[in-house]
Amino acid sequence: MKQSTLIWTLLMVFGGLSLVAIQLFRGKGEVYVREVSVEAKSSLPDSAEQTYRWSTYQQVPEKEKDMPGVSLSLSRTIGLWVAAFCTLAIFSFLYGDNPLYKFTESVFVGVSAAYAMVVAFWTEIVTNLFAKLLPDLARISFFPDMESGVQHNWLYLIPLVLSVLLLWRLAPKGNWIARWPLAFFIGATAGIRLISYLEADFIGQIQNTIMPFIVFSADGSLLWIKSLRNTIVIVGVLSCMVYFFFSVEHEGIVKYISRLGIWFLMVTFGASFAYTVMGRIALLSGRLDFLFNNWLGI
């Protein structure tokens, strides 16, 4: 084993064990909840009013753990420890690729995909398709609040058929059928996007660039910061467009304007990169805040 690898391995193991020891010794990393009673009244047109009571649990700070009605939530405590473990396991990639990281990454991908699928099933297939095609059955099965006597909306058979055709790709024969719904989706999406981009990104941006070079206030004095800003925007847009205009050779004055365009582009890329760095640091501080505040209770 290389010396640097040994040092880092010792650091990681020591750091991990220290965190667990601190946690066990301090008795932190517990989640407390307060039971909140909820009462609701409901009635159907042809029946008497009924009262329903149930409880919800609201998370409270640890300092309130001895107050009446507050108790330890075992499920949320386990969740907190799992979240802390997953965060540390993902961070372990900084040391180097390892089985712990790979396991946590796979769990994350799997859980995200499964979650998205379940949510989409209940919000789209059940609520938006099943309830439209068979409203009475949907009311009895899932949505007691749905009005009775809602008419079937047979138009929803079209997306149902398109979805079935799309799944035909998995069939051993005739998987070309899946191209028809795909063609419909691509055509519809292209049409919708074309109009919006033309309106908001093309025409809208031309309108936004039509601005005065020199700006005066109501009393006639020169607003030089606003004037400078407008000038930079106009010069920047024009020089960047010249840089991407390849129908004329970039020589003479065109060469200098396109070079100015490159400078504007470089500044834009730099700003984008800086914003990205800021975003990544914010994400890191978010996770560390979770570890220090929610888990370790520092």
Partner 1 sequence: MLKFLQTLDRRWIFLLMFFAVAVPLIMGTTFPEKPSDQVLSVFDAVDNLPDGSNVVMAWDYDPASEGELQPMASAFTRHCALKKHNLYFMTLWPQGIPMIQRSIDLLESEYAATYKGKYGTKFVNLGFRAGNEGVIKLVVEDLKKSYSSDIRGTNLDNIPLTKNLKNIQQVDLLCNVSAGYPGSKEWVLYGSSPFDIPTVVGCTGVQAPIMLPYIPQQLTGMLAAIKGAAEYEQAIINHYPELNEIPAAKEGLKRMGPQLVAHVLLISLIALGNVIYFWERKQGTPQ
- Distance of alpha carbon 180 from alpha carbon 191, whole angstroms: 17
Judge whether 36 and 58 are in contact, CB under 8 Å. Answer: yes
Tell me the closest approach of the beta carbon of residue 230 to partner 1, in angstroms: 13
- Distance of alpha carbon 222 from alpha carbon 231, whole angstroms: 14
**Hey, how many other C-beta atoms are within 10 angstroms of the C-beta on 216?**
12
Q: Does residue 206 interact with partner 1 by CB under 8 A? A: no
Q: Scanning the structure block, which residue is given the tokens 């946590």?
A: 104
Taking residues 4 to 43 in sequence order and writing x for each that binds partner 1 by CB under 8 A, - otherwise, the string is x---x-----------------------------------
**Hey, how many other C-beta atoms are within 10 angstroms of the C-beta on 110?**
10
Q: Mark 227-237 as b/e (b = at least 16 C-beta within 10 Å).
A: beebeeeeebb
Residue selected from 26, 103, 199, 214 as contacting partner 1 according to rule CB under 8 A: 199
Task: Using the minimum distance from each CB to partner 1, give the nearer residue, 71 or 272.
Answer: 272
Task: Using the minimum distance from each CB to partner 1, give the nearer residue, 6 or 248.
Answer: 6
Judge whether 29 and 77 are in contact, CB under 8 Å. Answer: yes
Q: Does residue 123 interact with partner 1 by CB under 8 A? A: yes
Binding residues among 54-93 for partner 1 as defined by CB under 8 A: 58
Binding residues among 213-242 for partner 1 as defined by CB under 8 A: none
Tell me the closest approach of the beta carbon of residue 96 to partner 1, in angstroms: 8
Judge whether 169 and 182 are in contact, CB under 8 Å. Answer: no
Q: Scanning the structure block, which residue is given the tokens 């009571």?
A: 53
Residue selected from 112, 148, 163, 175 as contacting partner 1 according to rule CB under 8 A: 112
- DSSP class of 97: -
Binding residues among 268-297 for partner 1 as defined by CB under 8 A: 268, 271-272, 274-279, 281-289, 292
- Distance of alpha carbon 221 from alpha carbon 285, whole angstroms: 46
Residue selected from 48, 170, 253, 298 as contacting partner 1 according to rule CB under 8 A: 298
Point out which residues bind partner 1 (CB under 8 A).
4, 8, 58, 94-95, 112, 115-116, 119-120, 123-124, 127-128, 131-132, 142-143, 145-147, 192-193, 196-197, 199-201, 204-205, 207-208, 268, 271-272, 274-279, 281-289, 292, 298
